[in-house]
Amino acid sequence: MPRSKTKSSPTAADPYLEFIRKVHLTGLGMDSASFKIDRPRFPAAYPSPDSVAAEITGHQELTDRKADSFVVLGHYRVTVKGTDGSEVVELSCSISALFSLDKEVEDAHLQRFTETEVRLVFWPYLRHFVSDSTYRMAIFPLILPLTSEVPKTTR
């Protein structure tokens, strides 16, 4: 008689996947934002709209850790270098996200989440901030890619 195979849940084998199922986004907002432009140098130094490339740096930090919740702060900076190599546009912002937990979790899971997955939560906010701000600066809107390949965390 053939044996039946027992199916195991992928989360049963991976405690981190089980953690992901137990974390819930409960609040998200921008804490600070700024942008600046070198207006006198802008007309001569800004690259043509089809060749603008932004440099994005940022990092996330875990704060306000409690048994049933935690906050992650994301700090990002986006710059555009002019044709002469100098910065002509700079945008920066800090975004915070409040997450609730169904139960107590390991610190290692929180740290991994902070360094990796949480960027996917912040990316749409950063993307909107950059495109809206550059539009308001009366320059060609800078559109960050729609991608899950969020830039590497730096400090």
Tokens at 139, concatenated: 């320059």
- Is 102 exposed, middle or buried (CB count within 10 Å of its CB: 0-12, 13-18, 19+)? exposed
Domains of the chain: 24-136 (3.10.420.10)
Quick one: which of 94, 144, 148, 92 has its CA closest to 116?
A: 148
Tens of pLDDT along 89-125? 999 999 999 999 988 888 999 999 999 899 899 999 9
Average pLDDT score over residue span 139-154: 69
Phi-psi region at 85: left, alpha or beta (left = phi > 0; alpha = psi -120 to 50): left
CA distances from 7 to 12, 19, 25, 28 (A): 11, 20, 30, 37
SS3 11: helix
Tens of pLDDT along 21-37? 889 999 999 999 999 99
CB 39 within 8 A of CB 90: no
Tell me the pTM.
0.81
Average pLDDT score over residue span 62-77: 94
